[in-house]
């Protein structure tokens, strides 16, 4: 075997190889009663340049290094999230918001890993608030977590099953962190899962691209916001 020729493949070659090897995931069969939209961690802690991680990056002189992330959020992710949210609300499917937020005022219930990363995010702080562009409306649920995967530190699986949910449409930040972790958990619990590629973002382009590729052959069907909006409109 010539390892020199197989060690590095282009993204397209790798994707083709993975689909050939594993096949394609089945398309989730969306319906109004069995589908929920999951919006992950679009909060001041990690989605606003003046708070949380954004403020830390500025203090460390790294703001230019993650300029791509803020631009993608402002120009692509937030507008697309708004479009998908509007379509989901119009279609009458369940909209659930997820955020990193501890249950205590001092964050003492956060995991050791989140404490070490400076992500304990106490409740009722600015960093725990969801950005107004994609904030919850009316009776939409907000689930607080202290792990990357929302399934690991909350009762969301029970909530979803109580609601009769079998399919999840997932969007938010960051792609290679809480989005991917939550998507993998959902797939392993046998939810039909769609990730909205242009309504997610990571700190660097390669992190986003690698995460999307990793999820695409084993965890989720990857779709654009245009495709998801059309699918939601068809549920009316």
Q: What is the pLDDT of residues 17-63, one digit of tens each?
A: 998 999 889 999 999 999 999 999 999 999 999 999 999 999 999 99
Structure confidence at residue 92 (pLDDT): 96
In the structure encoding, which two tokens stand for residue 120, read together?
């304990």
Q: Is the pLDDT of residue 1 over 50?
A: no
In the structure encoding, which two tokens stand for residue 23, read together?
């096949």
Q: Is the pLDDT of residue 133 over 80?
A: yes
Structure confidence at residue 60 (pLDDT): 95
Rounded Cα distance between 30 and 87, Å, is 14
Rounded Cα distance between 33 and 46, Å, is 31
Q: In what order do the strands lie in the sheet with 141-145?
A: 141-145, 94-100, 35-40, 167-173, 192-201, 221-223
Structure confidence at residue 181 (pLDDT): 98
Structure confidence at residue 5 (pLDDT): 54
Q: What is the pLDDT of residues 85-131, one digit of tens each?
A: 999 999 999 999 999 999 998 889 998 988 888 888 998 999 999 99
In the structure encoding, which two tokens stand for residue 220, read together?
């989720």
Contact 193, 165 (CB under 8 A): no
Q: What is the pLDDT of residues 144-197, one digit of tens each?
A: 999 999 999 999 999 999 999 999 999 999 999 999 999 999 999 999 999 999
Structure confidence at residue 8 (pLDDT): 80
Which pTM value belongs to this model? 0.94
* Closest C-alpha among 226, 222, 188 to residue 79: 226
Structure confidence at residue 6 (pLDDT): 58
């Amino acid at each position: 075997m010539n390892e020199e020729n197989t060690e590095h493949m282009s993204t397209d070659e790798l994707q083709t190889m993975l689909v050939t090897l594993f096949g394609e995931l089945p398309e989730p069969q969306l319906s109004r009663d069995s589908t929920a939209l999951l919006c992950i961690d679009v909060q001041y802690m990690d989605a606003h340049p003046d708070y949380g991680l954004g403020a830390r990056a500025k203090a460390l002189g790294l703001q230019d290094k993650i300029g791509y992330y803020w631009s993608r959020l402002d120009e692509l992710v937030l507008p697309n999230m708004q479009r998908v949210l509007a379509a989901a609300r119009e279609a009458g499917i369940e909209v659930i918001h997820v955020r990193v937020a501890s249950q205590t005022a001092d964050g003492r219930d956060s995991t050791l890993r989140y404490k070490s990363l400076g992500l304990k995010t106490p409740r009722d702080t600015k960093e725990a608030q969801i950005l107004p562009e994609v904030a919850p409306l009316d009776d939409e649920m907000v689930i607080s977590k202290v792990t990357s995967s929302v399934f690991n530190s909350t009762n969301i699986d029970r909530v979803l099953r109580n609601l009769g949910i079998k399919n999840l449409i997932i969007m938010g930040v960051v792609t290679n962190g809480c989005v991917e972790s939550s998507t993998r958990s959902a797939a392993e619990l046998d939810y039909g899962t769609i990730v909205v590629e242009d309504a997610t973002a990571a700190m660097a382009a390669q992190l986003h691209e690698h995460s999307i590729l990793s999820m695409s052959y084993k965890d989720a069907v990857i779709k654009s916001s245009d495709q998801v909006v059309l699918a939601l409109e068809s549920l009316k």
